[in-house]
Amino acid sequence: MLEAGRVYCQTSKSFVNGLRELGHQWSTDNMMEDCLDKFSKKLSVILDAQGEVIETIQKSVRTKLQTFVKEDVRRFKDVRKEFERSSETLEGALARNAQAPRGKQHEVEEATNALVNARKAFRSGSLDYVLEINVIEAKKKADILLAMLSLMETQAQFFQQGHQSLSELDQYCQKLSEEHTQFVLNSAREKRDMEQRHAAIKKKDMSYDDSVLDFNSDAANGIAMEGYLYKRASNAFKTWSRRWFSIQKNQLVYQKKFKDQPTVVVEDLRLCTVKPSSENERRFCFEVVSPSKCCLLQADSDREQQAWISAVQNSIASAFQERREDTHSPRQRCSSVSMSSLGGGGGIGEQESEGCKALEEIQAIPGNKQCCDCGEPGPDWASINLGITLCIVCSGIHR
């Protein structure tokens, strides 16, 4: 009982701590926060008192009963064993005395003396045994009665203390009870109103698409666009899987589950182009094409398809705009080199020398010494998406 009581107190304290933490979650509702705080404090006081009751019972009941069992009962058992031993000795002496032959006087005398001693020891042991029986019976009653009186007194004090502690909340509980009645009425009224609105809304057309697809390149979390798309696998089975896609940090990524690390589909959107795809049986498809691979995606509707295509295009334009605003970017340096070479005038500084060196290294690659479209020698423009070099005329057509 004591062990179960300790477990109960410990588990109840965990419950009270849970109530206290629940009250902290209601920081915006003073009534609920105050209610849970007051009740958890009162319950803590009662549990502390119950812990004291358990310790008192340990001292006043369990310890005394253990002492009675370990000392008094043990001593009584020792005396009883001694009595049983003397009884067996007397039985043996009686048997030997009865068996002594009439003609052997010395055996008769020995048997008679042994019987006298055994009878004396038996009677002495009997008196001791009777004494211990009376003593332990009297002590048993006294100890059990004292233990029960102590137990009931401790329980009475505990319940009186609990009643006194809880009585302090009588007015507060009365106030809460009145508020609870009002809560029930308000809840019933709100439920009725919500059911009426619910029934009215269900009569309307529920087939509309309410998905929100807004592109925002300046989003605080860095995610310019996000939503579900179907993605076709690049394996031989060409299976379609629904994944959560997002455009962030100038990349197109997707996640299978919310907490998974994003899988990057496109490392840099500036190297990509996006276009609708009508070459397969599925509707609302579009392709994101990069120099290394082509990713086929499917939206849920034509509206979502157009929104995603626009989002990718806007992300590409936004990324290029950011690079143009960076005066130290390689693109800016190469632009200055190209313009100076086309203009034909002015000296080349250190920055232009680096650009010219990069241009020479690219033109040294086989196939890059002529314009990819018209064959004009010495092209100084490039299509990053296609990975080709172009003359100024063809680059304008591409643009």
**One pLDDT digit (tens) per residue for the chain, 399 residues:** 899 999 999 999 999 999 999 999 988 889 999 999 999 999 999 999 999 999 988 888 888 888 888 888 999 999 999 999 999 999 999 999 999 898 888 889 999 999 999 999 999 999 999 999 999 888 888 888 888 898 899 999 999 999 999 999 999 999 999 999 999 999 999 999 999 999 998 888 877 777 777 788 778 788 889 999 999 998 888 899 999 999 998 899 999 988 889 999 988 888 889 999 988 889 999 999 988 889 999 999 999 999 999 999 998 888 877 765 654 544 444 444 443 333 333 333 455 677 778 888 888 888 899 999 999 998 988 888 888 999 988 988 887
Dist. CA 83–CA 97, nearest whole Å: 21
DSSP sequence for 132-180: HHHHHHHHHHHHHHHHHHHHHHHHHHHHHHHHHHHHTTHHHHHHHHHHH
The total of other beta-carbon atoms located within 10 Å of residue 368's CB is: 17
Q: Look up the CATH number of domain 2-168.
A: 1.20.1270.60
pLDDT at residue number 332 = 45
pLDDT at residue number 336 = 40
C-alpha distance from residue 254 to each of 65, 220, 226, 267, 387 (Å): 71, 19, 9, 12, 26
The third-level CATH classification (topology) of the domain covering 329-398 is Annexin V; domain 1 (1.10.220)
If we measure between CA atoms, which residue out of 348, 351, 335, 352 comes closest to residue 392?
335
Q: Look up the CATH number of domain 223-324.
A: 2.30.29.30
If we measure between CA atoms, which residue out of 258, 317, 327, 263 comes closest to residue 295?
263
Give every CB contact of residue 150 below 8 A, 6+ residues apart in sequence.
56, 60, 61
Return the residue matching tokens 């970017």.
329
Cα-Cα-Cα-Cα dihedral sign, residues 278, 395, 311, 253 = positive
Cα-Cα-Cα-Cα dihedral sign, residues 297, 303, 308, 310 = positive
- Asked if 288 and 266 count as a contact pair (C-beta separation under 8 A), the reply is yes
- Asked if 65 and 147 count as a contact pair (C-beta separation under 8 A), the reply is yes
Q: Which residues pair with 286 in a beta bridge?
A: 276, 297
Task: Let me know the angle formed at the C-alpha of 216 by 282 and 315, rounded to the nearest 5 degrees.
Answer: 65
In the structure encoding, which two tokens stand for residue 399, read together?
Answer: 């643009």
In the structure encoding, which two tokens stand for residue 69, read together?
Answer: 């069992």
Dist. CA 114–CA 122, nearest whole Å: 12
DSSP state of 43: H
How many C-alpha atoms does 323 have within 13 Å on its Cβ side?
17
Dist. CA 276–CA 11, nearest whole Å: 62
Dist. CA 350–CA 226, nearest whole Å: 43
pLDDT at residue number 333 = 42
Write down the domain spans for the chain: 2-168, 223-324, 329-398
Give every CB contact of residue 297 below 8 A, 6+ residues apart in sequence.
229, 230, 231, 232, 245, 285, 286, 287, 288, 308
Burial of 38 (0-12, 13-18, 19+ CB in 10 A): middle
Give every CB contact of residue 245 below 8 A, 6+ residues apart in sequence.
226, 227, 228, 229, 231, 252, 253, 254, 265, 297
If we measure between CA atoms, which residue out of 73, 50, 37 comes closest to residue 2?
50
Residue type, 344: G
If we measure between CA atoms, which residue out of 63, 80, 76 comes closest to residue 138?
76
pLDDT at residue number 320 = 76
Residue type, 230: Y
